[in-house]
Structure 1
Amino acid sequence: MFDKFEEFMNKYFTPLANKMDRNIYLSAIKKAMVAMTPILIIGSFALIPDALPNMIGKNNPVSEWITANSSIISIPYTVGMGMMALYVAAIISYHLAISHKLDVPGCVTMGVMGYLILAVDMTKDGGIDATYLGTKGLFVSMFGAIAAVELFRWCKKKNFTIKMPDSVPDFVSKSFEMIPISIIVIGFFLIIRVVCVNLLHTMPPMIFTYILAPLVGSMDNPFAYTFLKILQCLLFFFGIHPAVLSPVTSPISTQFLAENMASFKAGQTLTHFFTPGMDSAFGNFTGTGVTFGLVFWFMFSRASAQKKIGRIALIPALFGINEPILFGAPVVLNPLFFIPFVIIGPIVSSFGAWAMHFGWLKMSIFTPPYVGVFLEGYLATFDWRSILVNGMQLIVSIIIWYPFAKLAERRELEAESKKKKAISEDDEALIDDLDLDF
């Protein structure tokens, strides 16, 4: 039965996942979201001081200094998280320009400008409304960047440019080449904006909000989150890194983090559990599928090869990296480990989501760097109960992996025994006595 399932996956699902991973547009989005990691961490750090007065009291020099300088302390958050969509548009445009071998400065300029035409609105006093410069504008920034670069490429292909003599310096020539392209790109986005505002009576980013609302909203459902973890483990089981899903999941989790941070700053209740910090600290606790139990039992295995793999995989697992055990055991493409990894592991991965959903654990406002198990969960939530949740994940993982690890150990010992019996002691002694030096 497993052979048929593996054949089905290799025939239909694996090629699709590989195609997604090689897609230049999804790749550009993934790279852009990875590049946002420092901004997420720094922006999260900038909000920590706001929490201190509630922890140590407001009537002391430290709290009073924080309150007086709150506007300065929050600047990294404002210009980081608050303008993330702008950076994403620029980075996506950059990577697409590299992939298509186009003029990078020109593509980045058009990508950012196209996004801003769709997203920026003016306030009554003549200022700029920054609502969609942050994470709320992520999806429209992706669209703007991709559409602008594709228009740029189409214009170059159709030679809608101004060619200057070879004697003209290159930087001047490229500036003139951009004039027709700029007119076409800007005109395209202006038409979209006019249609949305005058006919649909809404800003373009809201169109994406309406279209993607079911997808975005579903990720705050623990059932949907558990299904996501199953899908990630299924991909990894067949050797495909679950990062292929990040172009879809990362913008949503990042947007939820920003909304949580804004709610925290305003003193309101946090509403989203699906954030990067939560997903890393609980969803990927000791690695995708919570495989620490297998590492634990391999460390005490009677099979020498498994014992070595377990000891090698221990330290990486404590920092959320489980590729050593996935490919060393192996878990990947091993029918013996399908149930604990693909079926049970995702349920254990979702413990944090369920705890936050029912209010047993605070929701995350912080995306900590990789600081190791237990500490990462606490920093993501600033809730001591995160240690209990991680502890439950650790214990349950050790329990559920026990019978499968023991069965693997028995098979490995049988294989080792056959290897030893392949050559008798007399034959081995005879081989040792032979002079086989050349």
Structure 2
Amino acid sequence: MKRFMKWLSNSFAPAMKKIVGRPWISAVSTSMQKIIPFILAGSIIFLYGVVRDFVSVLPDIGIIADFTFGMIGLIIAFMLAHQVMINLHHDKSTINAGLVSIAIFLININPTIDEGIFTVEFGRLGPTGILVGILSALLTAAIFNLYGKLNLFEDSEIPDFVTEWINTIIPILVTVGLAVVIAFKLNIDIFDITEIVFSPLQSFAQTLPGFILVCLIPAMFYSIGISSWFFGSITTPIFLAGIAGNIALVEQGLAPTNIVTSETVFTAALITMGGMGATLGLNFLMLFSKSKKLKVLGKICIIPSFFNINEPVVFSTPVVMNPLLMLPMWINAIIGPIVIWLSMSSGFLNIPARMIQIGQIPAPFSSVMITEDMRAIIVYIILFFIYLAVWYPFFKVYEKQVLTEEKQAGVDDMPLSNPVTE
């Protein structure tokens, strides 16, 4: 174990931090975070829809969701191109690249233009078009970046404002021209190609092994101090496509089938009970610890834990880089998906079919709300005790270690953020 932890600490974690810090990868991760307000705006409208089901006199404002969450593909096209330009220090091209990326996205979703009427399938602007938005942004950013490196007219006598115009016009013409040739001259439908290529990944993600990996990988990275946000560049398209598919099925009078959605993983707060890795059980045990340090931390962290915010407990206990607490976090990230998969696939628990991605609603209230199923309370209770049983033996060993350290150092002198010793 010591050798494994040393490898994680000295080799794997630094290497991963270096990879996720690269400008292009970082831009994708950052852009996914920046579109969250638009997703949450749509979530609020869907949440309003839940209330409207019981208060029918309320007006229908669902069209707001169409122009927030329903435009997420278009929005990511701008956000990502803009962010890449920032990361690559092309400060003069940030807005222009974002706007061109929007044009490329609109070309790539294969519109028809007939006698001045622009027609496009509205659904392609939303979550099903998010990958097209990413590809459009990366193409635009790549061309703008390559042209920016040429430094044309840098030492010329042409006025600066004219130079700036030229250095904007050329990459615009090249980018849009390339997209036009591909879409309208070669008749290549980028949207359809993206769906075909992405389909196997989406299909695998909607299986039990895929579900486990979607939950386990971020938890593993989180336990070594690497933000799980970077993995959102992979999971966000999967989650959005999944919930969009469920919504469409329900609108057709059919039952939802996609279990792997953000609503299942986060909003219901069954898999992420207390936060990623189901740390509510750990926090609960800390409240009754014999260790002064752990008991105080438990009291400090319990309120955030109820709202599924576990950074305080993960970094202060600490769970990060602590082999005794990392392992139960990983185990829970496997058990949770298995229990939820069995519950939903068997029909015992409803599959979410509303797009509500607000993960800070305490369970089991959020569990019942998102599944529209009172049996979610039963699943919550079962999972809480399972998580608690997983945490217990590891916690007791760690508690004994902390008690020994407190005895040696003197309880009053024991720092709350004392690092783990092996």
Identity %: 23
- Match of 2:147? 155
Per-residue deviation, 1:85: 0.6
How many aligned positions are there?
403
- Match of 2:20? 21
Distance across 1 between alignment mates of 2:406 and 2:111: 70
TM-score norm. by structure 2 comes to 0.85
1:382 aligns with 2:372: yes
With over 3 angstroms needed to count, the CA separation of the structure-2 counterparts of 1:174 and 1:321, relative to structure 1, is same
1:275-354 counterparts in 2 under 5 A? 275-280=261-266, 281-348=269-336, 350-354=338-342
Distance across 1 between alignment mates of 2:365 and 2:156: 60
With over 3 angstroms needed to count, the CA separation of the structure-2 counterparts of 1:196 and 1:74, relative to structure 1, is farther
With over 3 angstroms needed to count, the CA separation of the structure-2 counterparts of 1:247 and 1:368, relative to structure 1, is closer
Per-residue deviation, 1:230: 2.3
3-state SS of the aligned residue for 1:327? helix
Distance across 2 between alignment mates of 1:349 and 1:320: 17
3-state SS of the aligned residue for 1:283? coil
- Match of 2:133? 141
Residue 250 of structure 2: which of 259, 264, 271 is its match?
264
> Does structure 2 retain, via aligned residues, the 8 Å contact 1:163–1:173?
no
Greater C-alpha radius of gyration: 1
3-state SS of the aligned residue for 1:305? helix
With over 3 angstroms needed to count, the CA separation of the structure-2 counterparts of 1:354 and 1:19, relative to structure 1, is farther
Q: One-letter code of the match for 2:128? A: K
> Does structure 1 retain, via aligned residues, the 8 Å contact 2:274–2:306?
yes
With over 3 angstroms needed to count, the CA separation of the structure-2 counterparts of 1:162 and 1:362, relative to structure 1, is farther
Distance across 2 between alignment mates of 1:314 and 1:187: 56
> Does structure 1 retain, via aligned residues, the 8 Å contact 2:324–2:395?
no
Distance across 1 between alignment mates of 2:224 and 2:74: 36
- Match of 1:430? none
Distance across 1 between alignment mates of 2:404 and 2:38: 52
> Does structure 2 retain, via aligned residues, the 8 Å contact 1:368–1:376?
no
1:244 aligns with 2:230: yes
> Does structure 2 retain, via aligned residues, the 8 Å contact 1:226–1:346?
yes
Distance across 2 between alignment mates of 1:123 and 1:166: 39
- Match of 1:366? 355
Per-residue deviation, 1:399: 2.1
Distance across 2 between alignment mates of 1:410 and 1:25: 45
With over 3 angstroms needed to count, the CA separation of the structure-2 counterparts of 1:414 and 1:190, relative to structure 1, is same
Per-residue deviation, 1:192: 2.6
313-322 or 326-335, which moves further after superposition? 326-335
With over 3 angstroms needed to count, the CA separation of the structure-2 counterparts of 1:282 and 1:120, relative to structure 1, is farther
- Match of 1:192? 182
With over 3 angstroms needed to count, the CA separation of the structure-2 counterparts of 1:379 and 1:174, relative to structure 1, is farther
With over 3 angstroms needed to count, the CA separation of the structure-2 counterparts of 1:264 and 1:174, relative to structure 1, is farther
- Match of 2:345? 357
Per-residue deviation, 1:345: 4.2
Per-residue deviation, 1:355: 2.2
Structure 1: gaps (5+ residues): 57-61, 422-438
With over 3 angstroms needed to count, the CA separation of the structure-2 counterparts of 1:249 and 1:16, relative to structure 1, is farther
Distance across 1 between alignment mates of 2:316 and 2:95: 44
TM-score norm. by structure 1 comes to 0.83
Q: One-letter code of the match for 1:371? A: I
- Match of 2:417? none
Per-residue deviation, 1:371: 2.3
Distance across 2 between alignment mates of 1:392 and 1:75: 39
3-state SS of the aligned residue for 2:83? helix
Per-residue deviation, 1:161: 7.3
Q: Deviations over 1:402-422 (max 9, x none)?
A: 22222222222233333459x
Q: One-letter code of the match for 2:45? A: A
Per-residue deviation, 1:380: 2.4
Distance across 2 between alignment mates of 1:40 and 1:27: 20
Q: Deviations over 1:375-426 (max 9, x none)?
A: 22233223222222222222222222222222222222233333459xxxxx
Structure 2: gaps (5+ residues): 412-422
With over 3 angstroms needed to count, the CA separation of the structure-2 counterparts of 1:180 and 1:416, relative to structure 1, is closer
Q: Deviations over 1:106-143 (max 9, x none)?
A: 11122111222111322889441224211111111111
Per-residue deviation, 1:146: 1.2
Distance across 1 between alignment mates of 2:47 and 2:227: 33
Distance across 2 between alignment mates of 1:332 and 1:189: 46
Distance across 2 between alignment mates of 1:379 and 1:164: 64
> Does structure 2 retain, via aligned residues, the 8 Å contact 1:160–1:180?
no
Distance across 1 between alignment mates of 2:181 and 2:323: 55
Distance across 2 between alignment mates of 1:12 and 1:215: 29
Distance across 1 between alignment mates of 2:191 and 2:217: 29
1:179 aligns with 2:165: no
